[in-house]
Amino acid sequence: MRTKILLFTGLLAVMTSACSDGPQLKQNVSGKAGEIIVVMNKGSWESGPGQFLRSILAVDFPYLPQREPLFTLLNITENAFSSIFQIHRNIIICNINTDLKEAKMVIQKDIWAAPQIVVTLSGPDDESVAQCIDQNSDLLKNAMEQAERNRVIQNSKKFEESSIRQTVTKVLGGSPYFPTGYKIKKQTDSFIWVAYETTYTTQGIFIYTYPYRNSEDLTLSRIIAERNLKLEKEVPGPLDNTYMTTNTLIEPSFRWVNYNNREFVEIRGLWDVKNDFMGGPFVCHCFYDRDSQNIVVLEAFVYAPRYPKRNYLRQVESVIYSFEWQKE
């Protein structure tokens, strides 16, 4: 059955504002980070549509020490979808209507609250909706990931530690936006360590460079080798002869990413402390800076031994996604 995708973003906002008497302020979204309300009858939830959603959005979050889902899916029926749930940050609505001729997916923003994403899946039967979900799995997952990321970036820009961005910009010519509470822990000529710390958690960011020589400098082996050299020197552990390094039991992942007109290598993996028991997840963004002829590395990591780590990592990873070159 033919499937259509409709993506409403800025156009929807323009149309909405044009039809109103003025800007309408939306209430803030509710719900926890990483949660998705799925409005779907029990039959659909337990059959194809629900199964495909879980196979896409409730799979394991990659490279965490313990298993955690990519998103936490909360199923409610249409009758239970009251105003309390309508202001949730992430909503998926399944609409089965035999009068419809084909299945489609519509992505909208800020219908009942802000910043909100609402995905509506419509079709004549469960089979067509399940097929629609399957065919557009990447679009659905990426839309949800970007919605979570945008909230962190928006908050980072609104409530930022501007002095840190200024410091990093002087060194690199650009910087992420660091939200309130982040502090510089260490700075050398080619290494900056920024962190948000509580009694039992650390969300950290390493910013460093190494010289570009050839295309091999953006391969997994070279990036990890440079990482291990840099962290052995700059990030000591709690005892003598201990330092941060890369876990060797599980090989990190490697992929190219295009985001906001920037191209970079993404590395995901697990970090350890040599000769100690500390560890956690990390993600790196690595890219070539033509002006300095260096490879720039932005690394987000989490240490939270008492807690699930998904939301902590997603938050600090969103910070490095906010990187911008200094405007002329």
pLDDT tens-digit readout, 228-268 = 999 999 999 999 999 999 999 999 999 999 999 999 999 99
Across 181-190, average pLDDT = 95
Phi/psi of residue 167, nearest 5 degrees = -65, -45
Cβ neighbourhood burial of 297 (10 Å; 0-12, 13-18, 19+): buried
Separation of alpha carbons 301 and 279, rounded Å: 10
Separation of alpha carbons 300 and 313, rounded Å: 7
Across 11-36, average pLDDT = 68
Reference 33, options 312, 323, 321, 300; nearest CA is 312
Q: Which domains does the chain have, with CATH numbers?
A: 3-156 (no CATH), 160-325 (3.40.1000.10)
Residues of the chain with pLDDT > 90, as a percent, come to: 89
Q: Is the pLDDT reported for residue 18 higher than 70?
A: no
Please, are residues 164 and 194 in contact by the beta-carbon 8 Å criterion?
Answer: yes
Does the pTM surpass 0.75? The reply is: yes
Q: Is the pLDDT reported for residue 22 higher than 60?
A: no
Confidence of residue 318 (pLDDT cuts 50, 70, 90): very high
pLDDT at 21: 52
Q: Which are the contacts of 116, defined by CB distance < 8 A and separation ≥ 6?
A: 26, 29, 87, 88, 89, 90, 91, 109, 110, 147
Separation of alpha carbons 38 and 221, rounded Å: 41
Angle subtended by helix axes 137-158 and 310-321, to nearest 10: 70
The two structure tokens encoding residue 259: 């985001």
Confidence of residue 170 (pLDDT cuts 50, 70, 90): very high
Q: What is the pLDDT of residues 97-137, one digit of tens each?
A: 999 999 999 999 999 999 999 999 999 999 999 999 999 99
Separation of alpha carbons 254 and 242, rounded Å: 27
Q: Is the pLDDT reported for residue 38 higher than 70?
A: yes
pLDDT at 23: 57
Confidence of residue 327 (pLDDT cuts 50, 70, 90): confident
pLDDT at 59: 98
Element holding 325 (H helix, E strand):
strand 324-325
Q: Is the pLDDT reported for residue 190 higher than 70?
A: yes
Helix ranges, 35-172 (H): 42-46, 48-57, 83-86, 126-135, 137-158, 162-172
Helix ranges, 87-136 (H): 126-135
Least confident of 127-136, 186-195, 219-228, 319-328: 319-328
pLDDT at 25: 80
Q: Is the peptide bond before 115 cis (omega within 30 degrees of 0)?
A: yes
Across 136-153, average pLDDT = 98
Contacts 24+ apart (CB under 8 A), 155-160: 155/179, 156/318, 156/319, 156/322, 157/322
Angle subtended by helix axes 48-57 and 137-158, to nearest 10: 50
Q: Is the pLDDT reported for residue 8 higher than 50?
A: no
Average pLDDT, the chain: 93
pLDDT at 328: 60
DSSP secondary-structure letter at 78? G
Separation of alpha carbons 268 and 309, rounded Å: 14
